[in-house]
Structure 1
């Protein structure tokens, strides 16, 4: 614990209990730096074009974990998706997008004895996933998987917005194009 404390990864609260330290923020910025660097311009463009929070997620032991997010520059309000936010892979559009790129052995390794969602064929055909009210009540998510090649964590880009009245097909098409541009950088 002292070593972690010395490196700022944990700290002590006033009562002497352990809390996460500020050094974790620096450490987190270094995770998948190439992927974050490649995705950031596309996320910024998508966030501002669609006026929605755009974010990059990776698979982490059966969860979708947000690596980085961009809020729209000119929007009255936006759903916030902070780096480090997690939710199970079997919920939400990012989870469906990640499921779509996992092969059967990868799926079995992270989610034994749990079937894939029935929407997988549709997600693979369209190139994006749409969910309503799954991770947060009243919030719609749209996500597209990234094709990054061997050796890189499965990843996806996504947007979230309140309600379900915006045209998900238009949003999905924009995400698919952005995902293609990001993925080309890893060919």
Structure 2
């Protein structure tokens, strides 16, 4: 499928601006996009008209409030897609299933589904957060990022396996299994999430890993 060059440049501009915390000048943006400054100016003006970017008094370009409006519509769509799959995952594995996402340097649980059976459950709740470098969910998210020479061995292993397994890192006696949600083309600044399950020591990790990878793949496909 062919792409529309102007739209592609506009989206690339948003990604570049998003990765520049302090904002950037139109001249800097033009250099990063490898276009004439006049073209960069028109791109910014168009994005600004839709409140996707904003220019401060110093001329620096920042992300605009319009992106918050768009983002507010993303989570309900994600919930609609993921809820039935997460419920099935919890039932199949007899474990607490979750969908988590990266927020800064932390991993945050966005959705949780409990198994129907009255088994002992691990206390994992919506809003639970922990460092990305701890717990199966955070490690799974890190595996979808570009490789880093100083990344922990458990991230490297999880990347090779396609899933992460941790024991007792967040709660004593708990076993977590998680797999990243990766779309066909993952762009910088996009959604960084994972699907996983957490239970006590009797979790069948091999079966859980297969179920978690399948669920993550289904959600990724539905998200496009």
One of 174, 183, 186 as aligned partner of 1:139 = 174
Residue 93 of structure 1 deviates from its aligned partner by 0.4
Q: TM-score, normalised by structure 1?
A: 0.73
Q: Greater Rg, structure 1 or structure 2?
A: 2
Q: Give the 5 Å matches for 1:16-27.
A: none
**Structure 1 residues 36-83: Cα deviation after superposition (integer angstroms, max 9, x where no partner):** 222111110010111111011000011000001011111332113111
Q: Which has the higher contact order (CA 8 A, sep 6+)?
A: 1
Residue 118 of structure 1 deviates from its aligned partner by 0.6
1:96 and 1:117 in contact (8 A); partners too? no
One of 98, 110, 120 as aligned partner of 1:55 = 98
Could you tell me which runs of 5 or more consecutive residues in structure 2 were left unpaired when the two chains were aligned: 1-71
Q: Which residue of 1 aligns with 2:88?
A: 45
Q: Give the 5 Å matches for 1:64-83.
A: 64-83=107-126
Could you tell me which runs of 5 or more consecutive residues in structure 1 were left unpaired when the two chains were aligned: 1-28, 108-113
2:137 and 2:195 in contact (8 A); partners too? yes
2:175 and 2:203 in contact (8 A); partners too? no
User: How many residues align structurally?
Assistant: 150
Q: Which residue of 2 aligns with 1:98?
A: 141
**Structure 1 residues 97-132: Cα deviation after superposition (integer angstroms, max 9, x where no partner):** 01101125xx7xxxxxx9422122321222110000
Q: TM-score, normalised by structure 2?
A: 0.62
Distance 1:76 1:120, change over 3 A: closer
> 2: CA distance between counterparts of 1:152 and 1:45?
26
> 2: CA distance between counterparts of 1:80 and 1:37?
24
